[in-house]
Structure 1
């Protein structure tokens, strides 16, 4: 069960003090359980991935008959996004769920998800967890002292917001000051003629409002939540422009100490998360955030296949070239992604 505010505060204090959680740091249910699974993640409650984990918690606790207590710490309550991996590897917490591309500093090949339009067909998306690409990436993660037990789809599309004109074709990007994603992905934006810049998410609204930047690349949910429709007239959804995934990581020692039936309950629940996330991201037009942005006044466009192909032709080559230099198996990851 999700721990109470008091228990959460005690847990945080204990973790940052470097001691194990004991006594009142656990809820009554946790004290009665045979095992505890603390999951730290970066998403605010109510966002899709946070909701998936809430469902995971309920499923695992019910199917384990209360033998496993799942405690979820959302919105970086325990650790910042770049600290989650180390916390799991060191055994300070049992698990985390992280965007794959944020692991690029540890496993460079993980940023393959940022290559524009690399994976677009439904069959390849559905089959990813059992693919050769996933097998290779999971092997590399294990070498970094964590055990990958599952994946979820974060997004298969991105939203490009702007004023004056929609950024729906390559020529429209010329001269546009745009907040990008990261140095790798931004090579694709630069190839379109835009001037990408790095900027914390919290600063984007004001930068758009004051004209420091003209446009941004973001997610539909993020644009709706941050009210970008107040300062941006157009929104262009590009289906298949990314295949951003989240990886579910656990501490290897904790994982091996679990009995087989508890591990099976957990992996079955992570498989359910994958299936749910795939279904939610197959059709970008079904994204409720798009309707929300339209209702709020943003003029929305969902690119068709021809428009997507035009962007891919310009964006993909420089990003692909840079990615191929990022790790010893980078080229192999690309080839496997294309083949599957």
Structure 2
């Protein structure tokens, strides 16, 4: 592991190369997604649009599939300036910006339309702006999506079925608190370690959206899928703040527009692909619980909400829940 960390650090330095010469900008964008993931397609589109809108002044070099290190390392690299732009799941931002835990509260969002309304409101704008105190410029909200539970042991029909299962979760306190309340043994780890950990039995299961499960071949090492939709995970796209401020106003606006267009494409693709991939997962042998007892999960979610309210009050939670 130590050797791997050294290699990751070396890779970050090698790929840091933002070139600012004669008004031309080459930016390194790092993300977690596999080659077939919607985040890969969306960032490819975003890079193309930035190049077009800038008449070739802005070139974005993509580094997908966590090739510059795990998600936490990617964020650290962006804050330090060895990476220019990053897209990773919101839980990895919450390690230094706890206010963003709001978006990860279990059962906070009703559906995709509710998510869009909130993230495009003052609440979403302020959360992106809050990244600036950590040396990042929030460009847009990409997403991982609504999370579902898979495991290799048994069907999950209600919360009590999680008892004793060792499940990979994000490092987000809201996720960890909820799964403890539901009786599981939450085990945070970088996503790029999940497949091998499932295959070798280090963990019993994990929780991610259907498109993410399929595109990372988790059906090869998981038998059961339960469509709990227990939490939504945003994936903010953020840029090193100093690098962003170095750009002139026109190029800043171009990056923001390209980032937003890429986010819109990704969400559209996710809606389409979740339906397609759910059927493919069934065809490949996964047993799907389509209607788990969501009410049985609600009490366990309350602790995460209460923990957040103790630190930040109920105002933001209320703003989200009252959004129509």
Normalising by structure 2, we get a TM-score of 0.82
Per the alignment, residue 301 of structure 2 pairs with 316
Aligned to 1:189: 179
C-alpha contact 1:115 1:320 (8 A) present in aligned 2: yes
Which of 245, 256, 280 is equivalent to 2:234?
245
Please give the alpha-carbon distance, in whole angstroms, between the structure 2 residues aligned to 1:83 and 1:13: 12
Alpha-carbon distance in structure 1 between the residues aligned to 2:26 and 2:121: 31
Cα offset, 1:155, TM superposition: 0.8
Q: Which residue of 2 aligns with 1:74?
A: 64
Matched, 1:303 2:300: no
Paired residues for 1:162-241 under 5 Å: 162-164=152-154, 166-182=155-171, 183-198=173-188, 201=191, 204=194, 213-225=203-215, 227-239=217-229, 241=230
Please point out which of 241, 246, 258 is paired with 1:257: 246
Unaligned runs of 5+ in 1: 1-11, 23-29
Please, which of 317, 320, 323 is the counterpart of residue 337 of structure 1?
320
Identify the match of residue 44 of structure 1 among 11, 34, 37.
34
Q: CA RMSD in A?
A: 3.2
Larger radius of gyration: 1
Which residue does the alignment assign to 1:294? Answer: 282
Cα 1:126–1:68 change in 2 (3 A) is same
Separation in 2, partners of 1:72, 1:149:
16
Q: Aligned partners of 1:38, 1:169: CA distance in 2, in Å?
A: 43
Q: Which moved more, 1:94-103 or 1:166-175?
A: 166-175
Contact 2:211 2:274 in 1 (8 A): no
Per-residue deviation, 1:174: 3.5
Q: Distance in 2 between matches of 1:206 and 1:229?
A: 13
Shift of 1:37: 2.0
| 1:276 and 2:259 aligned | no
* Structure 1 residue 121: Cα displacement: 3.7
* Local SS of the residue matching 1:238: coil
| Residue of structure 1 aligned with 2:54, choices 64, 68, 87 | 64
For residues 334 and 84 of structure 1, the distance between their equivalents in structure 2, rounded to whole angstroms, comes to 29
Compute the TM-score of the two structures, normalised by the length of structure 1.
0.78
Going from structure 1 to structure 2, the CA distance change for 1:103 and 1:301 (only over 3 Å counts) comes to: same
Q: Is the 8 A contact 2:162 2:182 kept in 1?
A: yes
Tell which deviates more after alignment, 187-196 or 137-146: 187-196
Give secondary structure in 2 for the equivalent of 1:71: strand
Q: Per-residue deviation at 1:55?
A: 0.8
Give distance in 2, aligned partners of 1:253 and 1:208. 40
8 Å contact kept, 1:187–1:318: yes
